[in-house]
């Protein structure tokens, strides 16, 4: 059982993580002489700017950053938050059990696929990133702001982008990711190919997009019998990725964020209703609290800032999202 195996491994990892944190704090506090020194300074500055109530502004935030070498963001297109809350989805429940669930996560007001994903992956609103339409229009070019992928690449990190929909290409100007792939339309194919790539190439930052819930939502209705079946498929696809990370050992130093671009009602998602904007948001990985619910509001733009923070990268001042330091366990180093 993954849950049992994970439970034991996770306990050991937490113990090891606490020891590492203690060590890092004792050893590295004054010099902070690691490759991320510049990134850390910026991350701290941004944390202070955003006045994140959860940040400890009197200590070196990066000294508390768990050892995360990979971030995997999985977006399940059109997956409503209440679907994950109510449908007892096996793999989502495993991640929630071993991670953090945001009870009030919202996408942007323009709750459509391209603008919302662009905000999730850039940390800024459509008026800044410029992707205000929702289909593939090659003549309109690409996103107007940097994304977490450009940030990662500028700092020498490897990246990968797996999507179902060609319109998401607008978020990825040529040369800004290590690999960009559209393996197929159903999530099984996407998950299998992404899993193979992630475990063989081990990119630092990866994005994987499933669209089964959205397709059936538009054709058969949100929370229809058919969409619930498609959500079950999406859950199994999440399991393909999770098991691949577990078998390869990557789970030990990977932060996984599971979210969506929007919800929906009837056959649409305009963003006018909260049910269109309420999205699932689960974080799971080294140093992340287990079985913990974040009660305050979380923006989809926080995904970008949290991913950058987790990788030790600078968070540019124009990013509106906040690094969600509250997903992490309180630093064990406070125990003198
Ligand atoms: Zn969508």
Helix (H/G/I), strand (E/B), else coil: 230: helix
How far is Cα 271 from Cα 23, in angstroms, rounded to an integer? 47
Q: How far is the CA of 321 from the centre of ligand 1 (A)?
A: 20
Contacts of 125 (CB under 8 A, 6+ apart): 108, 119, 301, 320
Q: How far is the CA of 42 from the centre of ligand 1 (A)?
A: 32
Q: How far is the CA of 62 from the centre of ligand 1 (A)?
A: 34
Q: How far is the CA of 77 from the centre of ligand 1 (A)?
A: 5
Q: How far is the CA of 5 from the centre of ligand 1 (A)?
A: 34
Q: How far is the CA of 277 from the centre of ligand 1 (A)?
A: 11
Are 280 and 300 in contact, with CB atoms under 8 Å apart?
A: no
Q: How far is the CA of 264 from the centre of ligand 1 (A)?
A: 9
Q: How far is the CA of 103 from the centre of ligand 1 (A)?
A: 20
Q: How far is the CA of 199 from the centre of ligand 1 (A)?
A: 27
Q: How far is the CA of 72 from the centre of ligand 1 (A)?
A: 19
Q: How far is the CA of 43 from the centre of ligand 1 (A)?
A: 30
Q: How far is the CA of 32 from the centre of ligand 1 (A)?
A: 41
End-to-end CA distance of the chain: 37
Q: How far is the CA of 214 from the centre of ligand 1 (A)?
A: 6
Q: How far is the CA of 188 from the centre of ligand 1 (A)?
A: 18
Q: How far is the CA of 266 from the centre of ligand 1 (A)?
A: 14
Q: How far is the CA of 112 from the centre of ligand 1 (A)?
A: 5
| pLDDT for res 145 | 98
Strand partners, 196: none
| pLDDT for res 272 | 86
Positive or negative: CA dihedral 18, 32, 308, 127: positive
Burial 157-173 (b: 16+ CB within 10 A, else e): bbbbbbbbbebbbbbbb
Q: How far is the CA of 213 from the centre of ligand 1 (A)?
A: 9
Going residue by residue through the chain, which has 336 residues, state the pLDDT in tens, using 9 for 90 and above: 333 344 434 433 433 333 333 333 222 222 233 333 333 334 433 333 333 333 333 345 566 778 999 999 999 999 999 999 999 999 999 999 999 999 999 999 999 999 999 999 999 999 999 999 999 999 999 999 999 999 999 999 999 999 999 999 999 999 999 999 999 999 999 999 999 999 999 999 999 999 999 999 999 999 999 999 999 999 999 999 999 999 999 999 999 999 999 999 999 998 889 999 999 999 999 999 999 999 999 999 999 999 999 999 999 999 999 999 999 998 654 433
Residue 178 sits at φ, ψ, to 5 deg, of -65, -40
Is pTM beyond 0.95? Reply is no
């Amino acid at each position: 059982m993954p849950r049992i195996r994970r439970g034991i491994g996770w306990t050991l990892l937490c113990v090891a993580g606490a020891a590492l944190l203690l060590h890092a704090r004792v050893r590295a506090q004054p010099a902070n002489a690691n490759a991320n020194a510049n990134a850390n300074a910026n991350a701290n500055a941004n944390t202070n700017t955003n006045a994140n109530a959860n940040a400890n502004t009197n200590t070196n935030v990066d000294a508390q950053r768990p050892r995360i070498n990979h971030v995997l963001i999985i977006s399940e297109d059109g997956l409503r938050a209440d679907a994950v809350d109510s449908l007892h989805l096996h793999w989502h429940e495993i991640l929630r059990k071993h991670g953090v669930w945001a009870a009030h996560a919202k996408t942007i007001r323009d709750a459509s696929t391209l603008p919302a994903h662009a905000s999730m992956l850039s940390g800024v609103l459509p008026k800044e990133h410029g992707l205000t339409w929702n289909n593939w229009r090659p003549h309109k070019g690409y996103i107007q702001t940097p994304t977490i992928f450009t940030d990662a690449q500028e700092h020498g990190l490897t990246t990968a982008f797996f999507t179902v929909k060609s319109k998401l290409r607008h978020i990825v100007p040529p040369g800004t990711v290590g690999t960009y792939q559209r393996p197929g339309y159903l999530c099984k194919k996407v998950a299998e190919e992404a899993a193979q790539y992630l475990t063989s190439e081990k990119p630092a930052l990866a994005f994987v997009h499933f669209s089964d819930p959205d397709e059936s939502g538009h054709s058969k209705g949100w929370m229809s019998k058919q969409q619930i079946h498609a959500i079950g498929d999406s859950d199994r696809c999440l399991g393909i990725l999770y098991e691949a990370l577990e078998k390869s050992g990557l789970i030990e130093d990977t932060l996984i964020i599971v979210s969506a671009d929007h919800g929906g009602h009837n056959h649409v998602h305009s963003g006018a209703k909260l049910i269109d904007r309420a999205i699932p948001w689960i974080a799971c990985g080294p140093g992340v609290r287990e079985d913990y619910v974040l009660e305050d509001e979380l923006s989809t733009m926080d995904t970008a800032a949290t991913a950058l923070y987790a990788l030790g990268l600078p968070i540019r001042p124009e990013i509106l999202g906040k690094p969600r330091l509250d997903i992490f366990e309180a630093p064990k180093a406070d125990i003198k």
